[in-house]
Amino acid sequence: MLKRLDENPLLTPDDLSPTREDLEVMCTLNPAAVRFGEEILLLVRVGEKVPDEPDSVAYLYFDADDGELKVGRYARDDPDLECPDGRGYYHHGQMVLSSMSHLRIARSRDGKNFTFDPQPAIFPATPYEAYGCEDARITKIEDRYYIAYTAVSDRGVTVALASTTDFVSFERHGIIFPPYQKDVVLFPEKVRGQYVCRHRPYKSEFNPACIWTAWSPDLYCWGRHEQTLAPNPGTWEANRVGAGANPLKTSEGWLELYHAADAQGRYAVGAMLSDPEHPERILTKTREPIFRPEAEYELQGVYHNCVFHNGLVLEDDGTLRFFYGAADRICGGALTTLDEMIAAAKNEL
């Protein structure tokens, strides 16, 4: 039902230059997506790193006091250093990321062939972004495009909001969710007089990572939080769930695609429909994933067995352009239709 594009991978680390000569691009992943006039825009997470050295591991961080990127290092043979997978290291239990991400636009006329802008769109600029800006979602609300993204630092994992009208200049609105939060996606219009979002608090010793719903009068202050979707033990969504791209208003309710990970950490995508007036209530959801890692570039990468979806474009003819990060390394795309995704959410396919 979701047909991978023949052009995949759409974007790879070879498609752009690093922001500094001493760095390299390690990954181009997890793209938000939007139609903007004649173009399809992706807002891609670009991870940069210090090239590998034999005796040490290096990490990048933005030093807000000095306003510049700096490099930290640990000796590879440090007994307190652990490397669980390609995403980062733990030193005395504290995580450092192997790459630092910024957000960059890639443009296309056909939704298949994309070219990166020469400069980043959103680059770490505050203490809350010291370790990077990750995994954006774009939602058009009235005449502005709002971008919710993950801001990572030693202050925790938070969610920041920015907006634009032209995808050239971006206004920052600060942190809208304190730690530990990810996967915030705004609904495109008010529901019963309030803005709505999904968000995803981290797991704790009491709870797994669930999708929540919150309400706001102004997009900045969020309240009336409720849990909407929890992981399902023993299934493809046993470990965690998180919102995908912008919800779409349909005749059957709000249609959303979301990500889930199983007990082994394999990421897949599901679909759900929620009540038009009460989006905190799910009407129906997929029993099985609608998209799971199958292609080589999804099975092998920085983080294996991963399809992470946060970009969706609905065309006037009902075509749905689905964009995703594969194995935390490259961007992919697939095509489906709105009708098929509604049928998938209702388990009718």
Report which secondary-structure segment, H or E, holds 340: helix 338-345
> Residues 231-270 vs ligand MAN: string with x where CB under 6 A?
------------------------------------x---
| 135 belongs to the binding site for ligand MAN (CB under 6 A) | yes
| 134 belongs to the binding site for ligand MAN (CB under 6 A) | yes
> Residues 69-88 vs ligand MAN: string with x where CB under 6 A?
------------------x-
| 89 belongs to the binding site for ligand MAN (CB under 6 A) | no
- Closest approach, Cβ 306 to ligand MAN, in A, equals 5
Report which secondary-structure segment, H or E, holds 89: strand 88-91
Half-sphere exposure of 99 (CA within 13 A, CB side): 27
| 105 belongs to the binding site for ligand MAN (CB under 6 A) | no
Instruction: Give me the amino acid identity at 279.
Output: P
∠ CA(200), CA(294), CA(202), 5° rounding? 15
* Cα–Cα distance for residue pair 297/317, rounded to 1 Å: 30
- Closest approach, Cβ 157 to ligand MAN, in A, equals 9
Q: Which residues contact 251 (CB under 8 A, 6 or more apart)?
A: none
| 303 belongs to the binding site for ligand MAN (CB under 6 A) | yes
* Cα–Cα distance for residue pair 301/1, rounded to 1 Å: 25
Q: Which of 106, 328, 333, 344 binds ligand MAN (CB under 6 A)?
A: 328
Taking a C-beta distance cutoff of 8 angstroms, is the pair 80, 92 a contact?
Answer: yes
| 8 belongs to the binding site for ligand MAN (CB under 6 A) | no
3 state DSSP class of 158: strand
Of 191 and 209, CB closest to ligand MAN: 209
- Closest approach, Cβ 171 to ligand MAN, in A, equals 24
Binding site for ligand MAN (CB under 6 A): 30, 87, 134-135, 267, 303, 306, 308, 325, 328
